[in-house]
A = this chain, B = another copy of it.
Amino acid sequence: MEGPDEFPVAPLNQVLTAISDPIRLEMVRRLSVAGDKIQCSGLYEGISRSTGTHHFKVLREAGVISRVVEGHVVSQRLNELALEQRFPGLIPSLVAAANAEN
């Protein structure tokens, strides 16, 4: 829960490194498919909460997702607009590829 809720989109290399991890790619895939914010616990299975938090941090620092805090509920959302402006078509094609394998 450290650091700001939202970062600017990082250089391509950092974005790709963030997304190339299979757990984080699955988080991005779920957020993209949902088209909305998702509570943290709905974004992973089979890993601890602290591991999940670590992966959120990597994605957040790359500017891929942002944290949304509403009362006691913490969610994550995909920075779809900013990503599309910076790297047109990249996230949709990644998500389509991930969907095809899912």
Q: Size band of the A side of the interface?
A: 20 to 34
- Knowing A20-B13, A25-B12, say if A89 contacts B88 (CB, 8 Å): no
Say yes or no for A97: interface residue by CB 8 A criterion.
Answer: yes
Say yes or no for A39: interface residue by CB 8 A criterion.
Answer: no
In this complex, the member of A12, A21, A96 whose beta carbon has the largest number of chain B beta carbons within 10 angstroms is: A12
The reply to whether A20 and B22 form a contact with Cβ atoms under 8 Å apart is: no
The 8 closest A-B pairs by CB, nearest first: A16-B20, A89-B93, A87-B97, A90-B93, A20-B20, A93-B93, A17-B20, A13-B22
**Measuring CB to CB, which residues of chain A are less than 8 angstroms from any residue of chain B?**
11-13, 16-17, 19-22, 25, 86-90, 92-94, 96-98, 100-101
